[in-house]
Structure 1
Amino acid sequence: MKTYDLVIIGSGTAAMVAAMRTRAAGWQVAVIDFRPFGGTCALRGCDPKKMLIRGAVTVDEAHRMREKGVEGALHINWPGLMAFKRTFTDPVPEKQERRYAEKEIDTYHGQARFTGRNTLVVNDTHIEGRHILIAAGAQPIRLGIPGEGYLADNEDFLRLEQLPRRIVLVGGGYIAAEFSHIAARAGAEVTILQRGARILKQFDPELVGWLMEKFLEIGVDVRTGTTVDAIEKTGTGFLVHTSAENGARTFEADLVVHASGRAPALEALDLDAAGIAHEKGQLKLNEYLQSVSNEAIYAAGDAAQMGPPLTPVSSHDAKVVVANLLEGNRHKPDYRGVPSVAFTIPPIAAVGLSEDQARRQGLKFRMQSQKASDWFTARQAAEKIYGFKVLVDDATDRVLGGHLVGPHADEVINLFALAIRHNLTAEDLKTTMFAYPTGASDIGYML
């Protein structure tokens, strides 16, 4: 049996951070993954998605500027865009493994399974770790409907060699919103089926309402209050059977994509064999990201599910875990001011408290909210969808929440995040001289 100071399950952002930092401290480290090394963000999520979005953004910008000095029509060549994406994703696994090899970090390919409190088996190899970090990421939740096996997931979508003509997305979160904006601009007929009353429930409902105008403009058919009951395979595609308040309906599709949420990827690990407490598919952790029932076990990122399911959180969690491993449990994760963005076109972004959260907490605050289609930032981009909602505490003048939709929202939200995390006041932001004209230069008028 091979013995290590730290064994890491998963090879994404959290794994890389934890492996490199503990190895630098002289620890013997191993990393295990049954998939190509690199993790969800680099291979199956954020980064490849953003590369596809770049093509969609380019087409959208040209379309908006037609008859405004820009002539001619652009279109997306899907195989070409996919080839561009692969220029980033294809080299990642080899680069990751080379980095590990250079640092004398052992790598194992296969599904890890616990055999004891600090022992694992990978294929036929038995491994012992003084400490074990679960950083296995997340996977699509089970829907429990007939024909569920016909659903494509985010990974399937991001490696499509040809774009299907008719795409149905089951769910209304980030994946549905972002993929629909890519696919529709590439020429697909896209339908979103959302069980809830609205899509993008993680964002301010008023701003989502403004963004819905864009979904309508690009031809995405959004059906809220619609439950998917079954998926049926036909000779030419799929039938998606649904029910809603106004009755049952069937949608035809060439591809049906799971966009109904993700959960920690824990099932194959056999947590019970290691005495790792879990409940409803989630690890039970203390405030130091350590298992409450097995002190050898820590978790980070989506597997921990203590903070928002975002890549910067995975990195942050890993740093906290490493500090606790090296120095003893003294460090706790700090999720203040973590911004979240749905990369629709234009993007929608949020950080801090929502209006509803602030009211439920009984806070006294002032709020500025406006659909600002006539502001220069919107007009210079020929984009009608632009608006904001900002909450500022009455007593302290500190920013409580920032909510943006429109051009540059994905970048400007970071300045609101900075303010929240470092207790800057609205006055601090208003008296900062930002470059003009930029998205950031609008901040003073939002406060």
Structure 2
Amino acid sequence: MSFDYDLFVIGGGSGGVRAARTAAATGARVALAEESRMGGTCVIRGCVPKKLMVFASEFRGQADLAREYGWDAKAENFDWTGFRTKLNGELDRLEEVYRNLLGGSDVTIYDGRARLTDANTVEVAGETVTAKTILVATGGRPVRPDIPNAELGLVSDDIFSMESLPKSVLIIGGGYIACEFACILNGLGVEVCQYYRGAQVLRGFDDEARGLVAEMMKEQGIDLHLGTNIVEMGPAGDDAGPRPTASDAAMGAPVGEGDSGSKDTGDVAEKDAPATYRGPIRVKATNGQERVYDAVIFATGRAPNAHGLGLEELGIGINRRGAIEVDEYSKTAVDNIYAIGDVTDRIQLTPVAIREGMAFTETVFKNNPTAPDHELVPSAVFTQPELGTVGLSEEQARDRGPIEVYCTSFRPMRSAFAGKPNRVLMKLVVCADTRKVLGCQIVADGAGELIQMVGIAVKAGLTKEDFDRTVAVHPTMSEELVTMHKPVRTA
């Protein structure tokens, strides 16, 4: 049978674009469809704009620190409008870069929502095309909880398009997105309150590390309430402005500029529609607190964009989390249909999606079956201070056998000289039998940069003695990673 394309990719995020380009480099005829903006979550409404906001939010604290070092430095009256204009310009530039990369690779681009009508046929932008192989890389989206008046709140996608900064905000959630935006908005001068129903934020990360992050967040002025959730929320009085109707929300009245990731699902419930309400919101909490905020942000989870693509009709499994079920080679239950990235809910990180896309090309177009490697993936949480992690947490390692824990927490020279309470943490978790370093946790400014380097050592299977043989760079925070000679505890 003759097909229009050898490969049709659904989704223009980092994983889908990398797979399309690497497949095209083998001589395959490739097309890619994206219904929103090229670049996907990471480039348009995730990693990139968030990191630029992190940079912006740090300058107020840096100015304060500079004064302690003798500088007449000030960072006041943050210009959100000017920053947002420049941010949008940068995102436009990056989107064009992605389009040019695809065009330069001879990948045909379809701007529209794609849907499968059979295992080889795609409907997109008013056309019907066929492909020998299909790759689904549609990513995920933030979701609002199913509670009354949830449509009054924002989700992470909405933050980048706010027309003005709120004076006060309530963030619901305790994961990395909630904590990152709590630190960002606090740094930009917003009064931030955060509710999390669990006992400690950043569930799943090392207990000691996440405890220090939470302590530092509170030290910076974030009003963090643990074991706390919303009882009810609603507009704060008659002068709060018109409340959106369900039909308004479903039609996606604009929040500002940009797109909401909720439009990517195809079968989005009204609770996932973009927020349209602007005005004070009254919130009552389980801890008895009742107060009014200018905005409420839900950071309570993400869902894969797997529905509405025609997959279920072809017999492709979608699990309870809403993720596409794939084997170790990213293949679905249909032999010629594959899926990568957040839509498979394996590890929701952009570099992982890119690696999965490259492994897909090796497997399908280079006749070199390659399973993506999901072991020992380093990652960072861009709170202030940052949390960098690779390998096992202390709690995970305890369950696997005898371990030694090497750990230190201290005030780094930079902040100690300025009389600041900032603390850092360096931790190595070591297998007592093999001496291999099983995991590393760093809480410090620049921990994301540091953990990348440590990740190489951990991935290589180096031992604690390999670390010990490495000469320290002095004076640095990171020298502690090679000077901790006695374990603080064993298990």
Normalised-by-shorter TM-score class = over 0.9
- Structure 1 distance, partners of 2:290, 2:130, is 52
User: 1:12 is matched by which residue type in structure 2?
Assistant: G
The answer as to 2:295 corresponding to 1:255 is yes
Which consecutive segments of 4 or more residues in structure 1 shift more than 6 A? none
- Correspondence for 1:92: 94
- Structure 2 distance, partners of 1:310, 1:251, is 36
Matches for 1:292-311 after TM superposition, within 5 Å: 293-306=333-346, 308-311=347-350
Matches for 1:13-28 after TM superposition, within 5 Å: 13-28=14-29
User: Which has the larger displacement, 378-387 or 413-422?
Assistant: 378-387
Contact 1:288 1:329 in 2 (8 A): no
- In 2 relative to 1, CA 383–80 (structure 1 residues): closer, same or farther, beyond 3 Å? farther
- Correspondence for 1:285: 326
Matches for 1:360-399 after TM superposition, within 5 Å: 360-361=399-400, 363-373=401-411, 375-376=412-413, 379=416, 384-399=422-437
Secondary structure (helix, strand or coil) at the match of 1:91 reads helix
- Structure 2 distance, partners of 1:164, 1:443, is 41
Secondary structure (helix, strand or coil) at the match of 2:67 reads coil
- Structure 2 distance, partners of 1:2, 1:253, is 56
The answer as to 2:444 corresponding to 1:406 is yes
- Structure 1 distance, partners of 2:129, 2:294, is 44
- Structure 2 distance, partners of 1:31, 1:178, is 32
- Correspondence for 1:228: 230
Structure 1-normalised TM-score?
0.92
Secondary structure (helix, strand or coil) at the match of 2:4 reads strand
Q: String of CA shifts for 1:415-441, please: whole Å, max 9, x gaps.
A: 221122111222222323454434433
- Structure 1 distance, partners of 2:60, 2:203, is 27
Q: String of CA shifts for 1:41-71, please: whole Å, max 9, x gaps.
A: 1111111111111122222122134333233
Secondary structure (helix, strand or coil) at the match of 2:297 reads strand
User: 1:133 is matched by which residue type in structure 2?
Assistant: L
Contact 2:403 2:431 in 1 (8 A): yes
- Structure 1 distance, partners of 2:55, 2:285, is 35
- Structure 1 distance, partners of 2:441, 2:168, is 32
- In 2 relative to 1, CA 197–259 (structure 1 residues): closer, same or farther, beyond 3 Å? same
Secondary structure (helix, strand or coil) at the match of 1:136 reads coil
Matches for 1:35-434 after TM superposition, within 5 Å: 35-75=36-76, 76-234=78-236, 235-236=239-240, 237-239=279-281, 241-244=283-286, 246-247=287-288, 249-280=289-320, 281-291=322-332, 293-306=333-346, 308-328=347-367, 330-361=369-400, 363-373=401-411, 375-376=412-413, 379=416, 384-433=422-471
User: Which has the larger displacement, 321-330 or 155-164?
Assistant: 321-330
Identity of aligned residues (%): 32
The CA deviation at 1:378 is 5.4
User: Which has the larger displacement, 347-356 or 2-11?
Assistant: 2-11
Contact 2:14 2:350 in 1 (8 A): yes
Contact 1:407 1:439 in 2 (8 A): no
Calculate the aligned-residue CA RMSD, in Å: 2.2
- Structure 2 distance, partners of 1:49, 1:28, is 35
Structure 2-normalised TM-score?
0.84
The CA deviation at 1:238 is 4.4
- Structure 2 distance, partners of 1:151, 1:115, is 36
Contact 1:399 1:416 in 2 (8 A): no
Q: String of CA shifts for 1:52-105, please: whole Å, max 9, x gaps.
A: 111222221221343332333212322233234234212122222222222221
Q: String of CA shifts for 1:375-398, please: whole Å, max 9, x gaps.
A: 446546856221122101122221
The CA deviation at 1:242 is 4.6
- In 2 relative to 1, CA 439–39 (structure 1 residues): closer, same or farther, beyond 3 Å? farther
- In 2 relative to 1, CA 251–162 (structure 1 residues): closer, same or farther, beyond 3 Å? same
Unaligned 5+ segments in structure 2 are 241-278, 486-491
- Correspondence for 2:266: none
User: 1:50 is matched by which residue type in structure 2?
Assistant: K
- Correspondence for 1:33: 34
The CA deviation at 1:138 is 0.7
User: 1:440 is matched by which residue type in structure 2?
Assistant: S
User: 1:147 is matched by which residue type in structure 2?
Assistant: N
Unaligned 5+ segments in structure 1 are none
- Structure 1 distance, partners of 2:383, 2:456, is 23
The CA deviation at 1:329 is 6.8
- Structure 2 distance, partners of 1:185, 1:174, is 16
Secondary structure (helix, strand or coil) at the match of 2:303 reads strand
Contact 2:283 2:292 in 1 (8 A): no
- Structure 2 distance, partners of 1:446, 1:403, is 14
- In 2 relative to 1, CA 123–230 (structure 1 residues): closer, same or farther, beyond 3 Å? farther
The CA deviation at 1:444 is 0.6
- In 2 relative to 1, CA 424–268 (structure 1 residues): closer, same or farther, beyond 3 Å? same
The CA deviation at 1:108 is 1.0
